[in-house]
Structure 1
Amino acid sequence: MAAPFFALVLMVFQLALYHFGVQSLDHATRLAARAVMVGDVPASAQNRAAFLNQMICPHLMMALSCDNIILNVYRIEATSDADKKTGIYRFVDGQTRSLAAVESDPSKGSFCLGGPDDFVFIDAAYKLPNIVSSLIGADDWESSPILMRSTTLVRAEPHKGAHPSC
């Protein structure tokens, strides 16, 4: 009786950890998106690593490793067409109508803060270790992580501080 009980307690703990982590990532992403929207991103945070370290990581409510956050920021065209996969539909899986997979390699992703009146899509993800799988011996925690993801689409307001064109 003890083994199933502890497994259930562990699963509840993993689920709570996941939900708190998602809330933490959402909170930080929303605050960063607000800064992009009003043009309040400092000149020192105009690249991916600096933006992550200055605009996302300080606002995390949970101790997530900043090095494990996958961040992509895209400037989106004003018009979107689902059939042509333009605009925001560039990130939507046509079969499931859900967000497409996260681009986990930053060199293949994008980082563009856009400028005034641009649409900006912020995509942040974190691979949470799967504690339950590692304890039952199904997989090691690095090969079967649980993906936490936060996305935000904003339109930048007309502001004085234009970001570099990309």
Structure 2
Amino acid sequence: MSQIDIGADQDRVDAFNTEHSVGSWVRYWTGTRQDPAKSGQTRTEAQLLSGHTPVVWVTGHGACVALTHVDVIPGQPEDIEDDSRDLPNLYAAAERVGEYIAANGDGIYDVIGGHPLYARDLEALRQAANDVEQLREMLLNEREAHAKTIRDRA
């Protein structure tokens, strides 16, 4: 392997470590990217494995994972700043909840202070959000049609 390749690999490691701290949430693949993804938190900085492969160690997996098989999950949805109190787009949030349920299946997800959170609770909220979005689109279309009718009469 040439020095140029090693330099590029080290640049990738350095960039990853500059942009993402230990403890960042990631989606990772232990086989091909066509396999189901897993998620966890980085437990080390990225490093070069044997001087040639950029890798990071992730919770829930006993070996390192090549950075080519790691996607960092943003701390907030793309349309929300990290220090903001704003809420994300309802439809986009519902889509993320749907993806979460699809990846994790049915059943109980968490219990905090004796209060359980079930997959079906999240699914009910996701469906309600989708219903609200469809109603919003219908109302916007009706408003546009009404405005066109008024313009046509004038």
Q: TM-score range by the shorter chain?
A: under 0.3
**Would you tell me which structure has more helix in proportion to its own residues?**
2
| Bigger-Rg structure (1/2) | 2
TM-score computed with the length of structure 1 as normaliser: 0.21
What TM-score, normalized to structure 2? 0.22
